[in-house]
Amino acid sequence: NAGVTQTPKFRILKIGQSMTLQCTQDMNHNYMYWYRQDPGMGLKLIYYSVGAGITDKGEVPNGYNVSRSTTEDFPLRLELAAPSQTSVYFCASRPGTGGGKETQYFGPGTRLLVL
Amino acid sequence: GESVGLHLPTLSVQEGDNSIINCAYSNSASDYFIWYKQESGKGPQFIIDIRSNMDKRQGQRVTVLLNKTVKHLSLQIAATQPGDSAVYFCAEARRDSSYKLIFGSGTRLLVRP
């Protein structure tokens, strides 16, 4: 298993541009999450999904959108990039509930710079 | 400002010593706690977790202690090695909130050779 993969690794955007951050997991996990991490800080939840077709907002959803059409993929969309969205974005997934299934496994991250 | 967040609390220990990293969590209703290790340029890596019905859990060279009375979590690393140098985050979650993780601000561990 490749685990959680994210693309691209790094991207520079101009203010107002849009892009999609890709996240794929091959572990058949139901739950998927998007976090952002600002320099020297902990991660903050943007959006999450409990299964295909179901998404919900996290702590900092403004400026982002998500979709979950398949179990494997959970893309994060930035419609109008702003400098405040400069951050490192992490995708995570977990199997379910009980018996250690609560543990979230993280991808390697996408570093985004908005100028 | 932005520079405040760059100054993570730092714990410097001698190789071979034991390390203790502390964390205060915010929600008394949290029932699941987890420690992650994050190396530079990488995603968080699971270390150990503990449920609220436990006070202590041990793994390989690591122990997590939970004190619900004062909402405090600690991670003990035995015989600290250079490879343990990283930023460590605690996170809390609730079963009735889909186990969404709320992360603490992190502690940087530096291991001196």
pLDDT at position A98 is: 66
- A106, A110, A111, best to mutate vs chain B, most B CBs in 10 Å: A106
Q: Which residues of A touch B102 (CB under 8 A)?
A: 45, 59
The percentage of residues in chain B with a pLDDT greater than 70, rounded to a whole number, is: 94
Q: Please state, in angstroms and as integers, the Cα–Cα distance from residue B28 to each residue in A76, A97, B24, B32, B95, following that order.
A: 31, 21, 11, 11, 13
CATH 2.60.40.10 assigned to B7-80: yes
Q: Which of B79, B77, B64 is nearest to B25 (CA)?
A: B64
Domains and CATH numbers, chain A: 4-114 (2.60.40.10)
- The predicted-structure confidence for A5-27, as pLDDT tens digits, reads as follows 999 999 999 999 999 999 999 99
Query: Does A4 or B95 have the greater pLDDT score?
Result: A4
Q: Which residues of B touch A109 (CB under 8 A)?
A: 41-43
CB contact under 8 A, A45 and B49: no
- The predicted-structure confidence for B44-84, as pLDDT tens digits, reads as follows 999 999 999 999 999 999 999 999 999 999 999 999 999 99
pLDDT at position A100 is: 67
User: Count of A–B CB contacts within 8 Å?
Assistant: 71
